[in-house]
Structure 1
Amino acid sequence: MVVRISIAASSDEPSEEIIRASKIFIDSLKECLGSFIIYLGGYWGLMKHIAEYSCSLGIPCVFILPEKPREDPPRKECFYPVYTGLSMRQRSETLVLSGDVLASLGGGVGTEIEILMAYANSIPAYVLTGFGMDSDVFEKALSPYADSRKLSVIRVFRRDPSGMAKEICLDILKRNKDRNLTTARKIG
């Protein structure tokens, strides 16, 4: 089974601190899942740093690009751009629906909308906070549920990218019992 991780991340140039946290997150996912595919909404801002680091580890990155993307991903073996022709919001919906889970590594209103889209579509959302991003508001509001329907849990991880990755791994393994359970022992 191929695990698909959609990542919501800032389109602005990130701080070195959040870049480091993103690398810890990717390393932790790789340690517990082995192989997986990352879906990103573009190749700029924090998303670009995530893509470049992931590619350096051999992790495939699929870019769900909006109409007139700011920047095209370079032609690399591990980069797969999808030119959707969709508006930013439509692109966000496609990005969210493409993953088994949504991992938010911090961002602005686009990231916040993607977290809520995941919730509305009953897709588990994991939100990294504590790095001064606008999406840190999920630390105080809308978690663990955005409304009374309790469609899916929005899990918040304050300054704990490794813990967030491990929780994603455990969730995916639990939902896919046919996967080799020895992987779970690595993160135990």
Structure 2
Amino acid sequence: MRQIAVAVHSDYIPGLRERARLFVHALADRCPDAVLLVGGYWGHMRDVVDSALERGMKVVIFLPIEKEGVQLPERVVVIKTGCEFRCRSVIMVRSADVVAVLGGGVGTMIEAFMAYAMGKPLYVLIDTGASSDRLSQTYPEYFDDRRVLKVVYVSDPVALAEGVCGAGPGVLTSFG
């Protein structure tokens, strides 16, 4: 059972909702036994969770202490981390087999950097209109000189799902 952390904006970006839904639906088709790990239930994280539940996927939400009172769907597994936002991200990324970045701001990018530092296969959706699009321009292959793993950038959410489903621990692949 593959555990996939999904890092995505905690607010809304025009056009990203549909791309997030396409990604989740493609995941459900390609690796239906996967468990999605997300950091909350607001913004586009809510879109990911709702889409996954519609398709019968398992979802684990890692709540930061500041948002423990948020209303959640009944069918999710809830982890009350007792941590603030960035600390809960460490737990979520550490629990993942692979990380998919769907677009976001600094919190989403921190989760991408954590995945890289932990050696987790990392797939980043680009052309989203989010600040995280700049990662591909600034770091076209690797985030630093250590070359921990090659970051895979993809503009198509379906291709992103294919990569995420095919990625194994330490398996580095490249997609268009």
The Cα of 1:82 is off from its aligned counterpart by 0.7
CA distance in 2, matches of 1:75, 1:157: 30
- Count of residues paired in the alignment: 171
**How far off its partner does 1:60 sit?**
1.2
Preserved contact between residue 73 and residue 81 of structure 1 (Cα < 8 Å): no
Provide the secondary structure at the position in 1 that maps to 2:66: coil
Q: 1:69 to 1:153 in 2, by over 3 A?
A: same
- Note the alpha carbon deviations across 1:166-186, whole angstroms, 9 max, x for none: 1122223996xxxxxxxxxxx
Distance of aligned partners of 1:173 and 1:166 in 2 relative to their CA distance in 1, 3 Å threshold: farther
1:141 to 138, 142, 161: 138
Deviation at 1:29, TM superposition (A): 1.2
Which residue in 2 is equivalent to 1:27? Answer: 25
Number of the residue aligned with 2:174: none
Percent identity reads 31
Aligned to 2:78: 81
Partner of 2:40: 42
Are 2:106 and 1:109 aligned? yes
Structure 1 residues 156, 71: closer, same or farther in 2, change over 3 A?
Answer: farther
| Secondary structure in 2 matching 1:28 | helix
Query: Normalising by the residue count of structure 2, what TM-score does the alignment of the two structures yield?
Result: 0.91
Residue of 154, 161, 164 corresponding to 1:168: 164
CA distance in 2, matches of 1:9, 1:96: 13
Mark the runs of 5 or more structure 2 residues left unpaired by the alignment.
172-176
Give the residue type in structure 1 aligned to 2:22: I
Contact 1:107 1:135 in 2 (8 A): yes
The question of whether the paired residues in 1 share the 8 Å contact of 2:9 and 2:45 is answered with yes
Pair 1:29–1:142, CA change in 2 (3 A): same
Q: TM-score if structure 1 supplies the norm length?
A: 0.85
Whole-Å separation in 1 of the counterparts to 2:151 and 2:51: 26
Q: Which amino acid aligns with 1:111?
A: T
Runs of 4 or more consecutive aligned structure 1 residues displaced over 4 Å after TM superposition = none
